[in-house]
Amino acid sequence: MHDRAVGYFRGLQDRICAALEAADGVASFREDSWDRPGGGGGRSRVIADGAVFEKGGVNFSEVFGELSPEFAKSMPGDGLTFTATGVSLVLHPRSPLVPTVHANFRYLTHGSKAWFGGGADLTPYYPFKEDVVHFHRTWKGVCDRHPAVAGYARMKKECDDYFFLKHRNEARGVGGIFFDHHDATEEMGAFVREAGDAFLSSYLPIVERRKALAYTPEQRAFQEYRRGRYVEFNLVYDRGTVFGLKTDGRTESILMSLPPVVRYVYDYRPAPGSPEAELTEYWLKPKEWADM
């Protein structure tokens, strides 16, 4: 299972990067191959200063070795030995009308335990209902084709619960699906492969619809302010960030998820009734988007 997962995730990284370069039309990915002290390594690919993507990363890794006794207790399994492989990506578009997106798919072992995890979620700044519905329907379709191991309602709720900033009492975005610690059965592996393959169809149609739309400096400033929420989540709550740092992963690759330009405004309050206020008052409240 490990070798098959490695082969699949390597190929997935290649396919996603090629499609994103074509969508951007200007920038291409820079690749850094790296080795991890203790075992394994990866390929980090970063795109920057493009026509569409201001910054983005699509990372592949395959690492192994020993966990610290303290960290090992926080994970399913036994002993200290572990393996982990997967693809993780975050894309920060230049336009505030194109949403940020995150996805990751991974396979891990810890002693006698092996499992899959992953998911995808969307973080818009000026949402369009058509886009949010499309994103959720894509993931619901994948889940519905694997009912024995994947339930869309459950994975959607897990996503809403996970990508939530407790200190703000606020969701990071409009959700998607999230799953973790699912036993590494053949059925689960098939679901993860189809989910990985579905990423481009979940996101690129949104990019194509919005990338040429005009936007104002005020909308751009709001995007930079909202990007601060992304930074807060990734540095405070994100399990992937914690896992990478605690297992001596490559810091540059782990933190590639952070946006390039962020604006922190003290006690920011959007004008009542404005699109900026509507983001938190309506769009960031969990809804049954796939049924709309």
Sheet-wide strand order for 40-48: 30-35, 40-48, 53-66, 81-93, 100-110, 113-123, 175-183
For the chain, give the longest Cα–Cα distance.
55
Structure tokens at 203: 């996101």
Distance CA 12, CA 262 (A): 30
Distance CA 177, CA 175 (A): 7
Distance CA 260, CA 134 (A): 27
The catalytic position among 102, 110, 134, 136 is 102
Active site residue 2: no
DSSP helix, strand, coil percent of the chain (3-state; round to 5): 45, 25, 30
Q: What Rg, from alpha-carbon coordinates, does the chain have?
A: 18
Annotated catalytic residues are 102
